Amino acid sequence: MSASSDVGFHAQRHARWHYGEVAFWLIVLACGFAFPTRYLIMTDILRLALFAMSLDLILGYAGIVSLGHAAFFGVGAYAAGLLALHGIVNEPVLALIVAGLAAMVLGFATSFLVIRGVDLTRLMVTLGIALLLEALAERFSNITGGTDGLQGIEMQPIFGVIPFDMFGKAGFFYSLAVLFLLFLFARRVVHSPFGLSLRAIKNNPLRAAAIGIPVNRRLIAIYTLAAFYAGVAGALFTQTTAIASLDVFAFERSADLMLVLVIGGTGYLYGGLVGAVIFRMLQEVFSTITPQYWQFWIGLVLVVIVLVGRQRLHRWVLYVPNLVIRQIAGRKAVVAVPESDA
Amino acid sequence: MTSILTNLFDGVAYGMLLFVLACGLAVTLGLMNFVNLAHGAFAMAGGYICMVLVNRMGWPFFAALPLAFVSSAAIGIALERTLYRHLYARSHLDQVLFTIGLTFMSVAAVDYIQGSSRVFINLPAALQGQFDLFGVGIGRYRLMIVVICGLLTIALQMVLAKSRFGSRLRAAVDDPRAASGLGINVPQVFAFTFAFGCGLAGLGGALSAEILGLDPYFPLKFMIYFLIVVTVGGSSSITGPFLASLLLGIGDVAGKYYVPKMGPFVIYTMMIVILIWRPNGLFGRTAAR
């Protein structure tokens, strides 16, 4: 068997749906029916999961470290808010796509700045862009509402049929549908030759360029796509909470997002989803122990994760499930350790 | 005319303060290539220690300043020996996560111990108010800052350029392997430099309580300023960050005074443009290797 067909065989096998994945989504769907009183927090988790997935696309797959991913989230949030407030695009799904596209345009424009330079410059530029947008949103308070944020947003029914209810049921299933569709697309992308070339770039840009991968163009493409995802996440935030305030751009949001992804693991799409669930639960637990100071514990978690080592941590977490699977099914573990981190 | 000169003077004082705050970061980030986003936390520690000494225990301000330096340096060396040194070889992502974690912890801890409101340090009467110099209003406190920071800068430059420790540090940075082959204890040199940088940050934090405002969110609010100083200034010498701080200080004060609505906007745009134009900093040779 030639080397190239061998690679293709493995790539295809990875791309196939596992039973575990189907079960995962069924469980998520079941949660929607099992906990009818917790729609708001579950919607929050879905939003965060989508946002984390967006960061995973550039961090886990392309190796771009970003400290300002909230920029796109914020643009999506404000775009959706303004569209709804001024009645430009009334239908939520359409507004969602338009808001995502707005963030995508920004992502495309700034990607040229981001692909230049090394890690450190990228950190600074991404952080700078988010801060710049926050300053802009504060400056043009006649459009954005300044520190008060956009108020009085009223969402129209989805497709003109399903209205947003006050318990957040419609919001939850709406977010879930959006997340699932975008997940399907992201899954297709990362398993395509395009996605494989991104991993090659992440592992070694120089070598990737040497085997004929157009490194810069690929990075621009994935950065733009990730911006779209983040924009949609932001738009979901506005649509399901009916507010958009300056803190959508805040540095803490970008930093928390990194934590989400690190908890879940980078470089496989479920990392963001799992991380979002664990992060919100941690936050709930910490804020019930010490309401005002939960940030301390979040910080501690970050420090411990880094000191222990992310890969080692994931091996520990997956040790028991793998053992069980090996004992019962008598074959190689299905739950794989995520790829090496950025 | 005089208001321009007063603003210029304020800008210079502000810039020099930023330099003292950030020059420790120039060493860790620029020379040791370690992304330390928690640098502001050391500054905050120094500021709060000074505040407690002066306000609660009645120490004189000038006696509390050196102690702010020493205690920040002590915290710095303790953290360096226990935590930081394990991370020098790690990826930038790990360093970012770790230092963000530290920053969050410091913010919440200070909030818990001292409360979330802004604190002021009681200044001696001699440092309050302004006096006129050829019609230019000069704040006494700012003048003191310019003097202290100016002297520090000269001293730093002398130490780096002339002393034996300075040449060891430059050797360790240029090529750690060759330096340790020559018998230089590279980790020790780095640890000492790190602690010294933290000490300077602590001193800067104590000095800046009056001008920048000191509250638990200090490390997050001014993180970007420190990073700008280092990335724009580069790190091949002390001069780069120094000029960058002055530029930033004057630009920020002038921006806030003349175009108050565009204030931070100008700074961030400048930073991005400079980074795109010269990724290694305005005066830098290699900001990151």
DSSP, residue by residue, A116-146: SS-HHHHHHHHHHHHHHHHHHHHHTHHHH-G
Average pLDDT over residues B268-280: 76
Instruction: State mean pLDDT over B6-17.
Output: 86
Q: B64 pLDDT exceeds 70?
A: yes
The whole-number pLDDT of residue A332 equals: 53
Percent above pLDDT 70 for chain B: 94
- B36 contact A CB<8A: no
Query: How many angstroms separate the CA of residue A313 from the nearest CA in chain B?
Result: 14
Mean pLDDT, range A268-278, rounded to an integer: 88
Q: What is the structure's pLDDT at B73?
A: 93
Contacts of B220 in chain A (CB under 8 A): 251-252
Is B286's pLDDT higher than 50? no
Alpha helices in chain B (DSSP H): 2-25, 39-51, 61-82, 92-114, 140-162, 164-174, 176-181, 186-208, 218-233, 239-258, 263-277
Q: Read off the pLDDT band of A339 (50, 70, 90).
A: very low
Residues of A in contact with B264 (CB under 8 A): 131, 135
**Does B261 contact A117 at a Cβ distance shorter than 8 Å?**
no
CB-CB under 8 Å, B275 with A124: yes
Contact yes or no for B100 and A128 at CB 8 A: no
Give the per-residue pLDDT at A50. Answer: 94
- Which residue of chain B comes nearest to A66, CA vs CA? B93
Mean pLDDT of A311-330: 71
> How much is the average pLDDT of A149-163?
78
The arithmetic mean of pLDDT across residues A188-209, rounded, is 89
pLDDT tens, residue by residue, A176-194:
999 999 999 999 999 898 9
- Name the residue among B105, B223, B271 with its Cβ closest to that of A300: B105
Which B residues in the span 221-260 are in contact with A, Cβ-Cβ below 8 Å? 223-224, 227-228, 231
What pLDDT, on the 0 to 100 scale, is given for residue B289? 38
pLDDT for residue B288 is more than 70 = no
Taking contacts as CB-CB distances below 8 angstroms, the residues of chain A near B98 are 302-303, 306-307
Indicate which of A118, A124, A129 best probes the interface with B, i.e. most B CBs within 10 Å of its own CB: A124
Among B101, B228, B263, beta carbon nearest to A306: B101
Q: Do A306 and B100 touch (CB under 8 A)?
A: no
Domain ranges of chain A: 20-251
Q: Which residues of A touch B93 (CB under 8 A)?
A: 59, 65, 341-342
Residues 98-137 of A with CB under 8 A from B: 113, 116-121, 123-125, 127-129, 131-132, 135-136
Length of chain B: 289
Higher pLDDT, residue A224 or A132: A224
Q: Which residue has the higher pLDDT, A69 or A292?
A: A69
Helix (H) or strand (E) holding A172: helix A169-191
pLDDT in tens, A38-55: 888 889 999 999 999 999
Beta carbons of B67 and A261 less than 8 angstroms apart: no
Mean pLDDT, to the nearest integer, of B1-16?
A: 82
The larger pLDDT score, comparing residue B168 to residue B255, is at B168
Contact list in B for residue A299 (CB cut-off 8 A) is 100-108
Q: Nearest by CB to A139, which of B86, B109, B261? A: B261
Q: Hey, are the CB atoms on B272 and A128 less than 8 Å from each other?
A: yes
What are the C-alpha distances in Å from B172 to residues A101, B83, B181? 49, 21, 10
Which residue did the predictor score with more confidence, B16 or A310?
B16
Rg (CA), chain A: 20
**Per-residue pLDDT band at B71 (split at 50, 70, 90):** very high
Q: Of A267, A205, A326, A215, give the one whose Cα is nearest residue A14.
A: A267
Of B35, B98, B101, the CB nearest to A123: B35
Q: How confident is the model at residue B236 (pLDDT cuts 50, 70, 90)?
A: low
In chain A, the residue whose alpha carbon lies closest to the alpha carbon of B99 is A303
How confident is the model at residue B235, as a pLDDT?
64
More confident residue, B137 or A182: A182
B138 - beta bridge partners? B131
Question: Which of the pair, B263 or A139, is modelled with greater confidence?
Answer: A139
| Residue B127 reports pLDDT greater than 80 | no
Which residue ranges make up each domain of chain B? Answer: 2-217
Residue A158 has pLDDT above 90, yes or no: no
Q: What pairs with residue A52 in β-bridges? A: none
pLDDT value for A176: 92
**Candidate from A273-282, A311-320, B1-10 with smallest mean pLDDT:** A311-320
Half-sphere exposure of A319 (CA within 13 A, CB side): 6
**Given an 8 Å threshold on Cβ–Cβ distance, is A252 in contact with B105?**
no
Number of C-beta neighbours around residue A94 at 10 A: 12
Which of B33, B37, B93 is most worth mutating to test chain A (most A CB atoms within 10 A of its CB)?
B93
Residue with the two structure tokens 């930073």: B271
Chain A nearest-CA distance from B249, in A, is 17
A–B CB contacts, 8 A cutoff, strictly below: 126
Give the rounded percent of residues in chain A with a pLDDT score beyond 90. Answer: 25
Is residue A295 within 8 angstroms of chain B, CB to CB? yes
Closest CA in chain B for residue A301: B101
- Sequence-separated (6 or more) residues with CB below 8 Å from residue B155: none
**pLDDT above 50: residue A338:** no
d(CA B34, CA B93): 11
pLDDT above 80: residue A56 = yes
